[in-house]
Structure 1
Amino acid sequence: MKKIKIVLADDHAVVLMGVRGVLERHPQYQVACEVRTSGELVEALRREHFDIAIIDFSMPGDEVYGDGVRFIGYLVRNFPEVKFLVFTMLSNRLVLDRLCELGVQGVVRKDAGMPQLLSALDALSKGRRVLSPCTGEGGDLHSRLTSLSVKEYEVLRLFVSGLRVCEIARLLRRSDKTISAQKASAKRRLGVTTDQELLACCLEGHFFD
């Protein structure tokens, strides 16, 4: 039986170890490579062929590749022979829909557990696509967070990671003015007025874990 060759991409060592440990118990899968940054993943994909790439949505990026929607779009366009499965904690429905539009074959939330990941891999190996549903938990805060647009979500995700407006603008290839406007719009949607309140809101909702 030909094994399904997989590359794992996540900046959390515990996640890499856990996923590898589960997959190694299933003889049809071969974890051939592990990477922790966007650049390392691109290098691995250029170096050898993989059937499936299990990737996190948020990874340490760089000014060349970035991460998130921009990076995943780049991967799908440049490596069409690879099936991309996003393994993430994101729950924003607009972002999930955007990932499907970009052409990823699957999205699975990390809190769905390893059985859901294995089910998704089985579906991908049979040519089916998989989209893990939002959990819908968190009440009003969750509703407000998931109402963000894709661009607002990207800006907030990078803001929470500690980047300044000018740094976010450079990574997303937008102007400082545009980033500031999208950040301000996100504040209005979330009902906060200061950066401190914005950060607290995102952390309380575990929106970018």
Structure 2
Amino acid sequence: MLPGRCKNGIIISKVPVIQTGLSGVMQKHFPDHELTVCRAVEELTLLQLRRSDLVIADLTGECHYPRNVCEQYYTLISQYPDIHWVFLVSRAYYSQAVELLISPVSTLLSDVEPIESLVSTIRAGNNNAERVSKALLSPVRSEHQEFGTRSIILTLSERKVLRLLGKGWGINQIATLLKKSNKTISAQKNSAMRRLSIHSNAEMYAWINSTQGARELNLPSVYGDTTEWKTKALREMSHS
């Protein structure tokens, strides 16, 4: 093999922060992969799929037609059996994902599992990875039970930081907008995570993307138009 990157991977997520998080995981643990990042399966080209060894697809958050999405992936799985398909699955997608997406070349992971589970799954490869994670085999311990019964005691500042993180803003951008230091914003994020008994960024984003998180943070849709928020961010920063 030639030195440097020699494999190709695809990340599919509508949420910018999840795109960034998954890209960071891949760059840290699998630097030999050349990555393609897109918002939806419709954006993929045949050439990208033919060249890829791995696809990580984010099936989380609310969805009006989860079966349609799963059927799209079902078709691709049968057409590209050399790819390891890894799906991050939330409760909204659970039943359809189990019905349509379990195959000898796919793995279903719960969206609230730690990053280490994703890393282990990718490292195990197409032939040795578990097909369905243990967390998903117990669907009652999913988003609703994990997050729905927690009393919310976040401060206004903590809510504001989490809300902006959920809209795809970075720590630097939030600090500039709120006229605070990066250290202060990071401390508020970490404080919010402690209050919610959340131990990793992956769990934090899972809570933000949950029904309760979106409601508590006044995020009617975490899958909103990111262009709108980028424009608003630039406008507000220019006036700060």
If the TM-score is normalised by the length of the shorter chain, which range does it land in?
A: 0.5 to 0.7
Unpaired segments of 5 or more residues in structure 2? 146-209, 215-221, 223-240
Q: Does 1:76 align with 2:80?
A: no
Q: CA shift at 1:79, angstroms?
A: 1.6
In structure 2, do the counterparts of structure 1 residues 114 and 203 end up closer, same or farther at CA, with 3 Å as the change threshold?
A: closer
Contact 1:55–1:84 (8 Å) recurs in 2: yes
Contact 1:4–1:30 (8 Å) recurs in 2: yes
Q: Provide the residue aligned with 1:114 in structure 2.
A: 115
Q: CA shift at 1:92, angstroms?
A: 6.3
Q: Does 1:12 align with 2:10?
A: no
| SS class of match (2:35) | strand
Unpaired segments of 5 or more residues in structure 1? 143-201
When structure 1 is superposed on structure 2, of 127-136 and 15-24 the one drifting more is 127-136
Tell me how far apart the structure 1 counterparts of residues 142 and 40 of structure 2 sit (CA, whole Å). Answer: 30
Identity score, percent: 15
Pick from 42, 46, 53 the counterpart of residue 55 of structure 2: 53
Structure 2 matches for 1:1-209, cutoff 5 A? Answer: 3-27=6-30, 29-43=32-46, 45-46=48-49, 48-57=50-59, 67-90=68-91, 94-125=95-126, 127-132=128-133, 133-134=135-136, 136-137=140-141, 203=211
Q: CA shift at 1:203, angstroms?
A: 4.5
Contact 1:58–1:68 (8 Å) recurs in 2: no
Q: CA shift at 1:50, angstroms?
A: 0.5
**Number of matched pairs:** 142
Tell me how far apart the structure 2 counterparts of residues 58 and 67 of structure 1 sit (CA, whole Å). Answer: 14
Could you say what the CA RMSD is over the residues aligned between the two structures, in angstroms?
Answer: 3.7
In structure 2, do the counterparts of structure 1 residues 205 and 94 end up closer, same or farther at CA, with 3 Å as the change threshold?
A: farther
Larger Rg: 2
TM (norm. structure 2) is 0.47
In structure 2, do the counterparts of structure 1 residues 31 and 19 end up closer, same or farther at CA, with 3 Å as the change threshold?
A: farther
